[in-house]
Structure 1
Amino acid sequence: MIYVFLANGFEEIEALAPVDILRRAELEVKIVGVGGKTITGSHGITVTADIEEKDVTTDDMELMILPGGMPGTLNLEKSPIVTTCAEYCAKNDIYLAAICAAPSVLGHLGLLNGKEAICFPGFEGELKGATISEKPVCVDGKIVTAKGMGVAVQFGLTLAGLMVGKDVEKKIHDGIQCTD
């Protein structure tokens, strides 16, 4: 199961582009509402989550995704369920992905120590222990980070490739008319 955690103030494209791409890859994705089932993004778009954070189980977790946005990132970090799940992923070799400001959550938890990572410019100081990458999407072991909204599709494609292989990633890439 893939869990995408949304908190009020999330960046809509960073959340929904990966959800769309991963569902095109025929993966099971659940949108998790942090603080309730109805979550409003930083640009006023409201999303109804599939489940609430209290309903998340780590038993079948294959990937956890944290979108950025403000104050969404701060609201994610306030959730003990989000931080516990992130720590669980890191300890159990499960993919853990964050984009834009959200890699700061991983940095604050000490999960980026010795890892290469990227984030939205200005948040580099929050990536404690990380080597800052120049790549727009950075994969270091089971940690995947991305720079921001402009690379949300690439982020989603990278995650699809990691989960189901490069052939499916390329098929989706070509099917959605990516030009990179």
Structure 2
Amino acid sequence: MSRVYIFLADGFEDIEGLTVVDLMRRAGIEAVTVSIKETREITTSHGIEMKTDRVFSETDFSDADMLVLPGGMPGTKYLGEHQPLTGLLTEYYAKGGKVAAICAAPSVFAKLGFLKNRKATSYPSFMDQLDGAETCEDPVVVDGNVTTSRGLGTAVPFALSLIAQLMGEEKAQEIAESIVYRG
């Protein structure tokens, strides 16, 4: 079974983070939510209080098949400032691991140098922060081991793309049909 870690900080965009978790779990992927705080309690950008599956400092990521960052503010800012997370992302990316980010979160990848000479997208007001990338307005962009997406309105195609990368296009189509998604 594939294992994906989705990193959450206070102020993450609810739909961008939880759509990925929901659709991956429907596909049979072990989608693990991870708080970057020292507690499992997180408050979303719209004030929903929730608990993550794990806390960053107590998690071994050596079995990861993909690392995912949802957007939202100030969640993206907190993710980008969390040095243990940026260190993990850098090490994982350097080994060719699959990384994905949506909305404002591709800006974290840009700051880490992941988007240099790659095609990428993000939330419109963050496009100018994608230094070194060939930016576009596609809903989801996959360039090598890096996937980026635009925002809440592209959360379903983003999640389906991640499923296709891990389990194949047929599984992604099966999940799309099961949720009555017509992209």
Both proteins in one fold, TM over 0.5: yes
- The aligned counterpart of 1:19 is 21
Moved over 4 A (4+): none
Partner deviation per Cα, 1:93-150 (whole Å, 9 max, x = no partner): 1110000000000001111111110000011121111110221100000100000000
Partner deviation per Cα, 1:69-112 (whole Å, 9 max, x = no partner): 00000011111121012112210111100000000000011111
Task: Determine helix, strand or coil for the equivalent of 1:123.
Answer: helix
- The aligned counterpart of 2:162 is 159
Matches within 5 A, 1:2-81: 2-35=4-37, 36-81=39-84
Q: Does 1:94 align with 2:101?
A: no
Q: Does 1:85 align with 2:69?
A: no
- The aligned counterpart of 1:136 is 139
Task: Determine helix, strand or coil for the equivalent of 1:107.
Answer: helix
**Matches of 1:65 and 1:148 in 2, distance apart?**
14
TM, length-normalised to structure 2? 0.96
- The one-letter amino acid of 2:73's match is M
- The aligned counterpart of 1:123 is 126
**Matches of 2:136 and 2:24 in 1, distance apart?**
24
**Matches of 2:146 and 2:179 in 1, distance apart?**
25
Partner deviation per Cα, 1:150-175 (whole Å, 9 max, x = no partner): 01011000000000001100000011
Counterpart among 67, 88, 105 of residue 108 in structure 2? 105
RMSD of aligned C-alpha atoms?
A: 0.9
**Identity between Structure 1 and Structure 2 (%):** 39
**Matches of 2:67 and 2:59 in 1, distance apart?**
11
Cα distance, 1:56 vs structure 2: 2.8
Equivalent pairs, count: 180
**Matches of 1:124 and 1:56 in 2, distance apart?**
32
**Matches of 1:55 and 1:125 in 2, distance apart?**
35
TM, length-normalised to structure 1? 0.97
Cα distance, 1:28 vs structure 2: 1.0
- The one-letter amino acid of 2:74's match is P
Cα distance, 1:57 vs structure 2: 2.2
Task: Determine helix, strand or coil for the equivalent of 2:123.
Answer: coil
Cα distance, 1:46 vs structure 2: 1.5
